């Protein structure tokens, strides 16, 4: 594809792919005896500058949470800046996911009356400059203003000027009656994925790989919804109400899939589409944890989608390859951090990681 506008993107990002953590570093992190050793190991990697920036004010898990999120924002910015004009709408629409995550966190914190300081370290945003397209549209100062609102209703009212009023305001009456936060979060997700899939249109004819990548994410989200719903004994109406359209798993099959009595039986119903999912049954039967299923879904999707994205190097696929690897690393490092915080043994922690298995 001579003259592709993505040749420059490939060149700018290709030299930076080695900055992602190696399997040897992951092995050291898994075997670390505590968060102090995790911090020391990460100081010798690309996370070093961010750790140094916050080390005077934070320690332990909050320090690592801040460092990981700031490094993640930096990588998002690299991806956006490397994207040619034809792909910027799709990439900026994709990165708005961090607005959705941040707003979901803020809404939940207001519903639970959690203090600002406890919540702020988990926000995915830049500290020193506006996050902009690198981590959603809302800057850290705007997110702080939202955190300072006295109630969830006040947060929703404040979000009107950012374009979220039409999505959230109609749900306030129902929230005041039920105090159920999930319909608001689901509405944000539904609006996000609808706009995102619409933005990933065909420009060169090979953006279909990105659309398939996005659809596979919706599928993983919906499968976890089915498993969590069954594990918590939710009625089918509660599950279908939170189901997102846009993936390859059709809404019309949800009732049949969910009709099973137990989580492993739901997994059996999904086996034709997700054949590796049953590998999580042993962990679930032992400790009733869904994390094994989640890791398997993420790993299987990552292997499949990275192979597809990399088959079109001179396309938007190279940017989404970078974005996916950045998200997977963030997820794995955070899993290690909180595994160490709660004294999860290495033998249980290691199978939950995605990147070392790619």
Q: Is residue 39 part of a domain?
A: no
The pLDDT value recorded for residue 134 is 43
Question: Looking at the 3D structure of the chain, how many domains does it have?
Answer: 1
Asked whether the beta carbons of 269 and 260 are under 8 A apart, the reply is yes
CA angle 195, 199, 200 (to 5 degrees): 125
Inside any domain, residue 133: yes
- Angle CA 335–110–176, to nearest 5: 125
Task: Report d(CA 88, CA 109) in Å as an integer.
Answer: 32
* Residue 129, in any domain of the structure: yes
Residue 353 lies inside a defined structural domain of this protein: no
Does residue 96 form part of some domain?
yes
Pairwise CA distance, residues 217 & 197, whole Å? 11
Quote the pLDDT of residue 243: 95
Q: Provide the whole-model pTM.
A: 0.90
pLDDT at 129: 41
> How confident is the model at residue 232, as a pLDDT?
95
Instruction: Tell whether 337 is covered by a domain.
Output: no
Residue 226 is predicted with a pLDDT of: 97
Q: Which domain holds residue 104?
A: 84-180
Displacement of CA 106 from its chain's centroid (Å): 16
Residue 168 lies in a domain: yes
Task: Express each pLDDT in 149-162 by its tens digit.
Answer: 889 999 999 999 88
For 231, the enclosing helix (H) or strand (E) is helix 208-231
Q: What are 336's two structure tokens?
A: 């290690």
| Per-residue model confidence (pLDDT) at position 174 | 93
* Residue 93: Cβ within 10 Å count: 19
Q: The dihedral of CA 35, 38, 40, 43: what is its sign?
A: negative
- Which pLDDT value is given to residue 139? 78
- What pLDDT is stored for residue 120 in this prediction? 74
**Residue 132 pLDDT:** 41
HSE-CB at 68 with a 13 A cutoff on CA atoms is 26
Residue where the block lists tokens 């190097």: 313
Predicted pLDDT at 128: 44
* Structure confidence at residue 137 (pLDDT): 67
Check residue 334 and give its pLDDT: 96
pLDDT lower than 70: segments of the chain: 1-3, 116-117, 125-137, 202-206
Residue 42 falls inside a structural domain: no
Q: What does the alpha-carbon distance between residue 180 and residue 186 come to, in Å, rounded to a whole number? A: 11
């Amino acid at each position: 594809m001579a003259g592709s506008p993505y040749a420059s993107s490939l060149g700018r990002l290709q030299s930076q792919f080695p900055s992602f953590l190696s399997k040897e570093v992951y092995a050291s992190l898994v075997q670390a005896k505590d968060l102090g050793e995790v911090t020391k190991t990460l100081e010798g990697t690309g996370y070093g500058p961010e750790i140094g920036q916050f080390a005077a004010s934070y320690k332990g898990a909050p320090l690592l949470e801040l460092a990981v999120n700031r490094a993640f924002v930096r990588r998002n910015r690299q991806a956006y800046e490397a994207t040619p004009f034809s792909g910027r709408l799709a990439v900026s629409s994709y990165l708005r996911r961090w607005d959705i995550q941040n707003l979901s966190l803020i809404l939940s914190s207001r519903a639970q009356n959690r203090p600002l300081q406890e919540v702020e370290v988990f926000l995915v945003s830049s500290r020193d400059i506006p996050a902009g397209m690198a981590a959603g549209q809302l800057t850290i100062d705007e997110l702080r203003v939202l955190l300072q609102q006295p109630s969830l209703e006040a947060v929703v009212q404040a979000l009107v000027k950012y374009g979220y009023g039409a999505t959230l305001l109609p749900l306030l009456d129902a929230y005041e009656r039920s105090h159920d936060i999930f319909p608001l979060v689901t509405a944000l997700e539904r609006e996000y994925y609808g706009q995102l899939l619409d933005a990933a249109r065909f420009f060169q004819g090979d953006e279909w790989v990105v659309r398939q990548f996005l659809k596979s994410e919706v599928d993983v989200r919906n499968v976890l919804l089915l498993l969590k719903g069954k594990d918590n004994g939710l009625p089918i109406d509660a599950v279908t109400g939170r189901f997102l359209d846009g993936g390859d798993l059709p809404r019309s099959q949800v009732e049949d899939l969910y009709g099973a009595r137990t989580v492993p039986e739901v997994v059996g119903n999904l086996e034709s589409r997700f054949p590796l999912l049953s590998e999580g049954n042993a962990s679930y039967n032992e400790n009733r944890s869904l994390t094994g299923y989640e890791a398997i879904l993420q790993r299987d999707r990552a292997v499949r989608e990275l192979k597809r994205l990399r088959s079109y190097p001179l396309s938007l696929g190279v940017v989404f390859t970078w974005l996916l690897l950045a998200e997977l690393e963030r997820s794995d490092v955070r899993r290690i951090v909180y595994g160490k915080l709660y004294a999860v043994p290495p033998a249980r922690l290691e199978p939950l990681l995605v990147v070392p298995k790619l």
